[in-house]
Amino acid sequence: MYLEKADRFLSVLFNTGPLQANIYSRTAGLSGLLMFSFGLSMSKSLQLFGLIFMLIGLIIDHKRAWRALKSSPAVILIFLFLVYIWVRTCYGIFIESEIDTAQLIDGARKYSYFLILPVFAWWLMANEKVISRFFLITIITTILYIILFSNVNPLEFAQGRPGDRNLPTLLLAYALFLGILVVWLTSFAAKLALDNKHGKIAKLCIFGLLAIAWATVLLTLIHLAARATITALLVALAIVFPLIIYKHLTRRTSMNPARTKYAAIIIAFIIVGPLVYMSVDTLKDRYMRETEVFEHLQQGRDPGEIPTTSLGQRLHMWMVGADKFQEKPLIGHGWGVPVKIPDRGMQSHFHNTFVETVVAWGILGAMLFFGVFVVMGTGVVKAWRKGTITFEMLVFLGGATIVILASAMTHSLGIRQTTWTYAALWAGVVLSYCLDFRKQAAVDENS
Long-range contacts for 164-168 (Cβ within 8 Å, ≥24 apart)? 166/416
- State whether 181 and 284 are in the same domain: yes
Domain stop point among 28, 50, 67: 67
- State whether 289 and 416 are in the same domain: yes
Length of the chain: 447
Tens digits of per-residue pLDDT, 204-261?
A: 777 788 888 888 787 777 777 677 788 888 888 888 888 888 787 777 666 566 666 6
In-domain check, residue 306: no
Residues forming beta bridges with residue 347, ordered by sequence position: 339
- State whether 16 and 160 are in the same domain: no
In-domain check, residue 145: yes
- State whether 96 and 62 are in the same domain: no
For residue 222, which of 352, 214, 140 has the smallest C-alpha distance? 214
- State whether 90 and 225 are in the same domain: yes
- State whether 95 and 47 are in the same domain: no
Domain count for the chain:
2
What per-residue confidence (pLDDT) applies to 76?
93
Domain stop point among 24, 48, 67: 67
- State whether 93 and 31 are in the same domain: no
Distance between CA atoms of 368 and 283, rounded to whole angstroms?
35
What per-residue confidence (pLDDT) applies to 161?
45
In-domain check, residue 332: no
- State whether 111 and 231 are in the same domain: yes
- State whether 63 and 135 are in the same domain: no
What per-residue confidence (pLDDT) applies to 428?
92
- State whether 161 and 241 are in the same domain: yes
What per-residue confidence (pLDDT) applies to 30?
92
What per-residue confidence (pLDDT) applies to 437?
63
- For residue 415, what is the DSSP state? G
- Element holding 339 (H helix, E strand): strand 339-341
- State whether 44 and 85 are in the same domain: no
Write out the chain's pLDDT in tens, 447 residues: 678 888 888 888 888 876 666 888 889 999 999 999 988 887 778 888 999 999 999 999 888 888 888 888 999 999 999 999 999 999 988 888 777 788 888 888 888 888 889 999 999 988 888 999 999 999 988 888 777 765 544 444 444 444 444 444 567 778 888 889 989 998 888 787 766 666 677 777 777 888 888 887 877 777 776 777 888 888 888 888 888 887 877 776 665 666 666 666 776 777 777 766 666 666 666 666 666 666 666 666 665 666 666 677 777 788 888 888 999 999 988 887 777 766 666 676 788 889 889 998 999 999 999 999 999 999 999 888 888 899 999 999 999 999 999 888 888 887 777 788 888 889 999 999 988 765 443 444 444
Distance between CA atoms of 407 and 404, rounded to whole angstroms?
5
- State whether 63 and 75 are in the same domain: no
Q: Is residue 338 classed as helix, strand or coil in its secondary structure?
A: coil
In-domain check, residue 333: no
Q: C-alpha angle with apex 186: 183 to 192, nearest 5 degrees?
A: 125
For residue 169, which of 391, 445, 419 has the smallest C-alpha distance? 419
Domain boundaries, position 35 = 1-67
In-domain check, residue 87: yes
What per-residue confidence (pLDDT) applies to 416?
73
Residue 314 — left, alpha, or beta (φ > 0 → left; ψ -120 to 50 → alpha)? Answer: alpha
The neighbour count for residue 64, using CB atoms within 10 Å, is 16
Distance between CA atoms of 9 and 185, rounded to whole angstroms?
25
Distance between CA atoms of 139 and 135, rounded to whole angstroms?
6
Distance between CA atoms of 308 and 200, rounded to whole angstroms?
57
Domain stop point among 49, 67, 85: 67
